[in-house]
Chains A and B, each alone.
Chain A
Amino acid sequence: MTRVLLIGAAFVLTAVLVVVPLVYIFVQALSAGWGAYVANILDPGTLHAIWLTTLVAVIVVPVTVAFGIAAAWLLSKFTFPGRGLLITLIELPFSISPIIAGICYLLLYGRQGYLGGWLAQNDITILFALPGIVMVTMFVTTPFVVREVLPLMQAQGSDQEQAAVTLGAGGWQVFRRVTLPNIRWALLYGAVLTTARAVGEFGGVAVVSGSIRGKTNTLPLQVELLFNDLNVVGAFAAATVLTLIALVVLVAKTVLERRAGRH
């Protein structure tokens, strides 16, 4: 009896809290028909936002993956003073609100910021342009790959790598032939999570991008812009693109978890 009651409650609550809001995105986006939906997606502002968001993800994900591998190798293979501090710094962005990250960037790179004068003199633009958006997205996604890869590398130990070195393999060879096959699913999983976060980041990007129409508007910012313009159907149409990405990420996550479980 308790069992039926609890399972029932779980289904009803999850339907109200999660499923209906998810379904409602598509209902609203298609409320004016498929023709209007396609027209909304093909709106130049929305198309540009899709392109910019893709560009940000294409830059951020490989860099975060490379950083994640380097950090996980460092933290799992060596002990050294300051190791705990590095772990804290890696975890920090997870607890700091992205909007605070954005404010930090503004105080550093903004016109009145600590590096603002120097950047202006050297004609380097970071804020209200692509570099700022990319950097603040990197801040937010810093822990994502390390979190997945580090526990695995620690659990597996260094015996295999040490054996390979003893047999004369070089560092790069050891990584590619010994370590990478062991961590590839976790690495891919981390990359998938990073992609989801990079594509959806709102608060941090809102501060550093300046939301310039047709220039520095990422897709989540475009959703807000359309909503504020009272173009609700257009906002929902743009939102469906992000929702579909989120659903693909979830499917990829489930598949990768199953694969990782088998190994």
Chain B
Amino acid sequence: MSPASAPAVRARAVLPGFRLTLGTTVLYLSIIVLIPIIALVLTGAGIGPGRLWAIITAPRTLASLRITITAAAIATVINAVYGLLMAWVLVRYRFPGRRLLDALMDIPFALPTAVAGLSLTALYSANGWFGAVLEPLGLQIVYTLGGIVLAMSFTSIPFVVRAVQPVLEELDPALEQAAASLGSRGFTTFRRVVFPAIMPAWLGGVTTSFARSLGEFGAVVFIAGNLPFKTEIASLLAYIRLEEYDYEGAAAIALVLMVLALVLLFVSNMVQLRAARYGAVTA
């Protein structure tokens, strides 16, 4: 993995630097990414299938997985609608404040999740601006599933917007004009012409948003209250197992979450691959 002498490199390819960059990349990825992940997989394998199954199907683990998946699903539905609205408004309309609105979409990525969690918790607690209005109406957000949903949707806001925006920008307006000339009106045109074209990108954004919500930790721990069987998410349970020195328990839950994330990554890639193919056919 040492840098090769120049003549040896030139013999391999026209451009130099193959061995040096390959060595650097492989070394970095091995130490930082691959070996730690292998450690998790090995630990999982060491636990054995029977014990692994017992940990995963323990009532508290199952409850935490159910809460995580439910909250992530609701948060994703919110972002799917809000993200589509924002992408449409930002691409199709020109109005004062549009650039600011566009820049604001990046706040949830730039802001550390712990800060988001802190602010949302204070805002929606009984003496916060929003909580003071909502709690007398019987709507408790903090320390409930609603709080988890709120934190998850905040931290994954940009995914859908940023996935749909470029595709909507590329969309040929002639298609919509043709639909309009054939008598199609507003929403029908959107449903029959625009939406099918942006759907793969939208679904890709929705999938990443869901994956991110499943793994969200920083924002959720502040607002959830973290009661076992009620508002305890899976990644927090893994963290608690670590603090109890139950490394097998932590590893088992982490493995489940990692497999879920990888399946979603695969699905997202498939959707985008189909989108690329679809685009190639129509162009």
Interface residues, chain A, CB within 8 Å of chain B? 2-3, 6-7, 9-11, 13-14, 17-22, 24-25, 28, 66-67, 70-71, 73-74, 77-78, 80, 86, 89-93, 95-101, 103-108, 110, 112-114, 135, 138-139, 142, 158, 161-162, 165, 170-171, 174-175, 196, 199-203, 206-207, 219-221, 223-224, 227, 232, 235-236, 239, 242-243, 246-247, 249-250, 253-254
Contact A113 B21 (CB under 8 A): no
Query: Secondary structure at chain A's binding surface: helix, strand, loop or mixed?
Result: helix
Contact B113 A71 (CB under 8 A): no
A135 to B33, CA, bound (A): 9
A89 to B35, CA, bound (A): 11
Query: What's the least CB distance linking A27 to chain B, in Å?
Result: 8
Contact A67 B113 (CB under 8 A): no
Query: Secondary structure at chain B's binding surface: helix, strand, loop or mixed?
Result: helix
Contact A90 B29 (CB under 8 A): yes
Contact B88 A86 (CB under 8 A): no
Q: State whether the Cβ of B182 lies closer than 8 Å to any Cβ in chain A.
A: no
Contact A18 B15 (CB under 8 A): no
User: Would you give 16 A-B contacts (Cβ < 8 Å), ordered by A?
Assistant: A10-B89, A18-B154, A70-B20, A96-B258, A99-B217, A101-B36, A103-B254, A158-B14, A162-B14, A165-B14, A165-B16, A171-B15, A199-B112, A203-B235, A224-B221, A227-B121
A73 to B128, CA, bound (A): 51
Contacts of A78 in B (CB 8 A): 13, 15, 18, 22
Interface residues, chain B, CB within 8 Å of chain A? 6, 9, 13-18, 20-22, 24-26, 28-29, 31-37, 39-40, 42-43, 82, 85-86, 88-90, 93, 95, 97, 101, 103-116, 118-123, 128-130, 153-154, 157, 186, 208, 211, 214-218, 221-222, 235, 238-239, 242, 247, 250-251, 254, 257-258, 261-262, 264-265
Contact A17 B157 (CB under 8 A): yes
Contacts of B261 in A (CB 8 A): 95-97, 100
Contacts of A105 in B (CB 8 A): 36
A249 to B20, CA, bound (A): 32
Contacts of A224 in B (CB 8 A): 114, 118, 221-222
Which of B37, B86, B123, B235 contacts A10, CB < 8 Å?
B86
A232 to B121, CA, bound (A): 11
Contacts of A22 in B (CB 8 A): 107, 111, 119
- Identify the closest chain B residue to A73 (Cβ): B21
